[in-house]
Amino acid sequence: MNKSILLALAVVVALGLWMSSGGDPKASEQSAKKDQQSPKSLMKVSVVDSSIESVQRFVIVQGQVEANRSVDIKVEIDGRVAELSVAEGQRIVTNTSILKLSADYRLKQLDQAKALLRQANSDLSASRKLKKRGLLAANKLIADQASVQTARAQLAITQHEVNSTKLLAPFAGVLNSRVVEIGDYLQKGSVVGTLVDDSVLKVTGQVPQQNVGDLKLNEAVEISLSNGLSEFGNLAFISRVADPVTRSYRVEVTLENPELQRLIGLTASLKLPLGIEQGHLLPNSVLGLGSDGDLEVKLLNDKNQVSTAVVKIIRTDKSGFWLSGLASQVTVISQGKDFVSENETVDPVKEASTASDREKNTDKQLAVKG
């Protein structure tokens, strides 16, 4: 009897298990349909909305500060240094006497030249009177006229040499160096020193050939000096000919120096404007690298489907990158782009603002604090 009871219990248990495991075909079908109808969870991504804006393009080149004018002062005649009027490093104005050479025999030559001119004028006057009376040949009058011209020329030469014994500054500046002393004998063309005009400076640099076509004269240029100063200058010169070695073009930016600071010789960084372009300011996290090496971002359409767009960097910014190659209004994936694929539908979570808005908000906060 115990065996019968045990057998019956076994049959009941087996039947219960069979029924619970899908013994009812209708229940099994309903369960399958329910599984098919339940939606799959979508991948969440962070996105930013961005509107196109105008952005200034720049090219940054390295250069150095030079004097606007610098000239080696040279003597025009031979002579011995008789007087030094300016010390090395002294600031002087235009036509300041820098030194004097001994006049020596030139003063006597000047007196002689004046006397010869007086005699030539007297001879010419007498010849004209005789010519009127018909007592003088025409060629004699012509010869006397030539003598006067010769005497005048000789007087002018001698006077110039006497005047040249005093060496004058051609422009205002600093006598940055002086290489002569009293008693030195100088020959024509000998260097006395170097005069530097540091009231206006020029910063020179070399611009790559692919950017030079976008430069415009008289544009404002930001200059960052190696001593930590930052100034603005004016683009005054763009070379017409490229350097034969580097194929870059020389540019000069004028820099006012009203305080006469010691800036000549410093290295500098020139931020040269290249014109206006349309672009989006987006955070660094949006950028990715395509299989062919192009920079790209991932976008969402109005159905939250993923697409890819190739972009180019216009310039960097403290809030991210200015990018070109996008439509006027875009929604860009900022976080999670590496985990979604093309045409995939995602669940977007919008960030509070775009990089451009964050920059504006930061500026407003700083203005309020100020």
Total domains, the chain: 4
Q: What's residue 141's pLDDT?
A: 83
Give me the CATH number covering residue 282.
Answer: 2.40.420.20
318 part of a folded domain:
yes
29 part of a folded domain:
no
Same-domain status, 64 and 204:
yes
11 part of a folded domain:
no
Q: What's residue 368's pLDDT?
A: 32
Structure tokens that stand for 37 in this block:
């109808």
Same-domain status, 290 and 342:
yes
Distance CA 106, CA 363 (A): 73
Which pLDDT tens digit goes with each residue over 190-241? Answer: 999 999 999 999 999 999 999 999 999 999 999 999 999 999 999 999 999 9
Q: Which of 37-41, 130-134, 182-186 has the highest mean pLDDT?
A: 182-186
Q: What's residue 47's pLDDT?
A: 92
Q: How far is CA 224 from CA 268, 300, 363, in A?
A: 6, 41, 22
Confidence of residue 366 (pLDDT cuts 50, 70, 90): very low
24-33, 140-149, 156-165, 256-265: range with lowest mean pLDDT? 24-33
Same-domain status, 244 and 303:
no
35 part of a folded domain:
no
Q: Over the chain, what is the mean pLDDT?
A: 86
Containing 54, the helix (H) or strand (E) segment is strand 53-74
pTM attached to this predicted model: 0.66
182 part of a folded domain:
yes
37 part of a folded domain:
no
Same-domain status, 86 and 145:
no
Give me the CATH number covering residue 92.
Answer: 2.40.50.100
Same-domain status, 215 and 305:
no
Q: Nearest CA to 233 among 216, 249, 252, 248?
A: 252
- State the amino acid at position 337 in one-letter form: K
With a pLDDT cut of 70, the percent of the chain lying above it is 84
Which pLDDT tens digit goes with each residue over 1-46? Answer: 455 655 555 655 555 655 555 545 555 555 555 555 555 688 889 9
26 part of a folded domain:
no
Same-domain status, 339 and 354:
yes
45 close to 348: Cβ distance less than 8 angstroms: yes
60 close to 315: Cβ distance less than 8 angstroms: no
Mean pLDDT for the stretch of residues 299-320: 90
Q: Which long-range contacts (CB under 8 A, 24 or more apart) does 300-304 make?
A: 300/45, 300/47, 300/331, 300/332, 300/333, 300/346, 300/348, 301/331, 303/345, 304/345, 304/346, 304/347, 304/348
The residue segments making up the domain with residue 232 are: 59-68+197-276
> What is the signed CA dihedral for 281, 284, 286, 292, rounded to 10 degrees?
110
Same-domain status, 184 and 256:
no
Containing 59, the helix (H) or strand (E) segment is strand 53-74
Other C-beta atoms within 10 Å of 160: how many?
11
Cα 184 → chain centroid: 46
